[in-house]
Structure 1
């Protein structure tokens, strides 16, 4: 067998495999090589079962599924809102401005600071502030303070929370949205 003949046979085999891959397969209405392209009529029970499968699968369409191609599209929702009270957020940053900021996440409402000494004080503190609601309310604000020696007195935490709430109310009144 010559090289030319071998190449022709290889091309025919590859073309045949390529065409075989183009078939509709099982369940597509094409019965492949043996049925001539026509499928047998379905019984009413088979039709009902197929319709039931379609209905059951209808709720499982995963529209939020990400693929590698999601990186190249701008599919972010432009209507996403931040669920953090802006006055509490700003007041927390202003009241605790003597502490170095380690982490800030306005979408989850968490501010984490490093150790710092308040003006006129000798003890170093660190704070974690959690603004958990869009309402300007005391229940929306959680403050945790720690010193290098351990826990801080609850009265100190309450004083910082009160200072933040007072400043937040002042900011709201200043904006004229009272």
Structure 2
């Protein structure tokens, strides 16, 4: 590469660096005036001008060992702790394949009842809310039965099965919540 070509390459690289730096600087918090706001207090991304703590873990941040006393969910996990514990209690007879307390998903491995050797079940529990609500839990039940060759084949599950498990989880969650309230009142 010749000296003039090298100089042009350096100039081009410096120009690209300058444009990138200015572009990234423009992504910072705005101190410009937004219509209806006093000068320097807001911007298009913050019309009220309030300083907010930003976190990649959401509004409440990451809580590993509990939260504040006014935490509606009662724990530092990502879902309602009563629904979480009730779900684990309700399906405790089945082997767990996966449990994600931040995403609210519990997946069991296949379970065979000793009294029914030709069928097996698998359950996935989805906890959908941080509040203890009837629609805060969803259960999916999968069933397989042995065919005439002895292989496992997907089989139909009675529609009421998932609903019965959801109701059992909700009853247990309410019991856990009542026990927690009574224990805190005794202190």
Question: Shorter-normalised TM-score: what interval?
Answer: 0.5 to 0.7
Write out per-residue CA displacement over residues 66-93 of structure 1, whole angstroms, 9 at most, x where no aligned residue.
Answer: xxxxxxxxx9869324330101100110
**Residue 80 of structure 1 pairs with residue 75 of structure 2:** no
TM normalised by structure 1 equals 0.55
Q: Distance in 2 between matches of 1:135 and 1:129?
A: 16
Higher helix share: 1
**Greater Cα radius of gyration, structure 1 or 2:** 1
**Residue 134 of structure 1 pairs with residue 134 of structure 2:** no
Q: CA deviation at 1:151?
A: 3.1
Q: How many residues are treated as equivalent by the alignment?
A: 124
Write out per-residue CA displacement over residues 18-72 of structure 1, whole angstroms, 9 at most, x where no aligned residue.
Answer: xxx9xxx669xxxxxxxxxxxxxxxxxxxxxx9xx958952268xxxxxxxxxxx
Q: Distance in 1 between matches of 2:124 and 2:82?
A: 17
Which segments of 5 or more consecutive residues in structure 2 lack a partner in the other structure?
A: 1-9, 30-54, 64-76, 146-154
Change in CA separation of 1:121 and 1:58 when aligned onto 2, cut-off 3 Å: farther
Q: Distance in 1 between matches of 2:169 and 2:140?
A: 13
Change in CA separation of 1:121 and 1:152 when aligned onto 2, cut-off 3 Å: farther
Correspondent of 1:58 among 20, 26, 34 = 26
Aligned partner of 2:180 in structure 1 is: 175
Please provide the CA RMSD for this pair: 4.0
Aligned partner of 1:125 in structure 2 is: 121
